Structure 1
Amino acid sequence: MEALYLLWSIAYTTVTSALFSLLIPFQTFLHLFFLSPNPNAVFLYQGHVHHVRKRPVFHSFQYDVRYALFDLDLSPPFFSTHLSAQEARHITHTSGPVLLLTIPPSVGYEQNPLSVYYCYDLHGSTPLLNKCIAEVTNTPWGERVSFVFDPDSDLVAKPLHVSPFMDMLGNWRMRAKAPGEDLSLEISVQHPELGDYFTATLKAKRVHSSRSHCLALFFWLMPQKVALWIYWQALKLWWKNVSFLNHPKYANPAYRDEALVRNQKLQCPGIIKEGGSKHIDSDDQDLSHASNGNNGERWCVWRDAPWLWS
């Protein structure tokens, strides 16, 4: 069923992207003369994503990527199901600006393996990065997990089936640098059997040019290119005889609960599920129970895929 959905999704995205691309000249005209974004509300970055896998076979690749950094108090995102600035501050118990790093949708399609909220505290008039919120989305399943982490360095039990070539036993080591002229993110996987066998990094520089005035033009087909890279690299891993693993929800429906237990054993605040044992959809989040780890708990929410058979 998932294979059929994937084929249908690729065909549908190809047709809709081609049709919506015909509107790009009109959108460019509007942004240049009428809808230019607040220069202090959106910052654009261009860089590359680099993946290195050491075991069971060596595999590495790199691809170019473009991101937008939104000041959520000045320019709330008009797409998808991202948090507002106030929600992010409530979750992390911070008091300053909230910036969202993400890839905006392009011509009707959205693809964000990782979006990050940078949550600052105000020390006098100086904002200092205190906490981050990661939004990790898997492809092609369309599930999402959101959780708080310490940007200096944090260890989180893997809560989501991201790749069909990785099991659920690894932990994620998260690091994030406060964005400025440069930004960097790093996620490494620590596995009980394979060791530190996988690292993914994002490194980018801020773009200062006239082409940044139109988001539709700057990010044209960017999400589609990211999806293409994901599928192409998956095909190459399969060709290298790396074991293909089905989604754990079929053989082990309790995999999320197991991730919570494993996380509690780590030397970092334990993850809790919002609303007790219920897996809460993003549309039903009750932020009053959120925690940033100050009392030994970590805010974490799953969003199931919006499929009829999920």
Structure 2
Amino acid sequence: MTGPVPPPVPALYATEVAHTRVEPVHHALRHRTYLWLVDIDDLPVLPRPLRPLARFDPRDHFDGTAPSLRAGIDAYLAAQGVRNADGRVLMLAHARVLGHVFNPLTLYWCHDGAGRPVCVVAEVHNTYGERHCYLLHPDARDRAETAKEFYVSPFLDLDGTYRMRLPLPGERLDLTVQYRRPNGSRPLTATVRGARGPAGPAALLAAALRHPWSTAAVSLGIRRHGIHLYLKGLRVRPRPPRSTPAQEGTS
């Protein structure tokens, strides 16, 4: 049995990211940006003048030491005991733009050699320069659940679960991540929705002009909304120290 037909790649998705908090305070944010969907073994090659607008660097993912994205995900999957994800891997992410990158969520849809879906890897980054991966096995409705193991929002404790809906993008992109506390409450829901478009030089230039320095804008927007939440009365939750490679930077 095979999964959905993989979409043509590379592709650019014009997206709207939305976060909705319902407790202990109500707060919502919406941000428009664009994301790449790429085959990690066949990354786009852009004309030299446009390369500063999109660079895919393996240092920005996993432990930051692998020589390629494929080597990075293969090492992670092997450490998790996954041996059959030796086929196509499609990655949804921001690329580096003008030397900067920030990916709150990178997704990898992993297939076996026959094209069958094996798993999804959700790589999460926070604004402390840390990253963490979740290995997911979505059901027939593209839904998966996992325990929360990593601090993202400084205003939420390290408990509860994530419920995610992660269909492979096609003409439309429609992702949902919901945080649920042990008591059953659902304080935070995030969605990423958008439409597929071409990924040629003209399309990339148009996207970059609509959203200048897009990854820096995402990072600054998260911090700005963090200030709003603090002013609404939320306080930073204690967290243990964690030593992982930095994600944000200009190298």
**Structure 1 length-normalised TM:** 0.61
Q: Which of 37, 48, 56 matches 2:24?
A: 56
Q: Does 1:155 align with 2:155?
A: no
Aligned to 2:101: 110
Structure ranking higher on relative contact order (CA contacts 8 Å, 6+ apart): 2
Q: Which of 93, 116, 125 matches 1:137?
A: 125
Q: Which of 170, 174, 195 matches 1:180?
A: 170
Q: Number of aligned pairs?
A: 213
Q: What do residues 280-310 of structure 1 show as CA deviations (whole Å, max 9, x unaligned)?
A: x8xxxxxxxxxxxxxxxxxxxxx34489xxx
Q: Does 1:88 align with 2:73?
A: yes
Q: Does 1:70 align with 2:77?
A: no
CA distance in 2, matches of 1:233, 1:202: 17
| Mapping 1:1-310, distance limit 5 Å | 41-75=9-43, 78-79=56-57, 80-82=59-61, 84-85=69-70, 88=73, 91=77, 92=82, 93-121=84-112, 123=114, 127-139=115-127, 141-151=128-138, 152-193=142-183, 195-208=185-198, 211-214=202-205, 217=208, 220-246=212-238, 248-249=239-240, 303-305=244-246
CA distance in 1, matches of 2:173, 2:149: 25
Instruction: State the shift of 1:94 in Å.
Output: 2.0
Instruction: State the shift of 1:57 in Å.
Output: 1.2
CA distance in 1, matches of 2:31, 2:60: 26
**Structure 2 length-normalised TM:** 0.75
Instruction: State the shift of 1:216 in Å.
Output: 8.9
Aligned AA (1:211): A
Aligned to 1:284: none
CA distance in 1, matches of 2:97, 2:233: 34
CA distance in 1, matches of 2:208, 2:247: 28
Instruction: State the shift of 1:81 in Å.
Output: 3.6
With over 3 angstroms needed to count, the CA separation of the structure-2 counterparts of 1:73 and 1:305, relative to structure 1, is closer
Aligned AA (2:167): K
Instruction: State the shift of 1:154 in Å.
Output: 1.9
With over 3 angstroms needed to count, the CA separation of the structure-2 counterparts of 1:41 and 1:85, relative to structure 1, is farther
CA distance in 2, matches of 1:306, 1:72: 19
Instruction: State the shift of 1:112 in Å.
Output: 0.7
Unaligned runs of 5+ in 1: 1-39, 254-280, 282-302
With over 3 angstroms needed to count, the CA separation of the structure-2 counterparts of 1:180 and 1:164, relative to structure 1, is same
Instruction: State the shift of 1:217 in Å.
Output: 3.8
Instruction: State the shift of 1:215 in Å.
Output: 9.2
Q: What do residues 244-300 of structure 1 show as CA deviations (whole Å, max 9, x unaligned)?
A: 224x115xx8xxxxxxxxxxxxxxxxxxxxxxxxxxx8xxxxxxxxxxxxxxxxxxx
Instruction: State the shift of 1:144 in Å.
Output: 0.4
Q: Larger radius of gyration, structure 1 or 2? A: 1
Q: Is the 8 A contact 1:88 1:119 kept in 2?
A: no
Instruction: State the shift of 1:239 in Å.
Output: 1.2
Deviates more, 1:50-59 or 1:86-95: 86-95
With over 3 angstroms needed to count, the CA separation of the structure-2 counterparts of 1:133 and 1:63, relative to structure 1, is same
CA distance in 1, matches of 2:25, 2:224: 17
Instruction: State the shift of 1:84 in Å.
Output: 2.7
Aligned AA (2:221): W
- C-alpha RMSD of matched pairs (Å): 2.7
CA distance in 1, matches of 2:237, 2:215: 25
Secondary structure of 1:249's counterpart equals coil
Segments of 4+ moved more than 6 angstroms? none
Q: What do residues 45-94 of structure 1 show as CA deviations (whole Å, max 9, x unaligned)?
A: 11111111111111111110210111112118641343633653572422
Deviates more, 1:88-97 or 1:226-235: 88-97
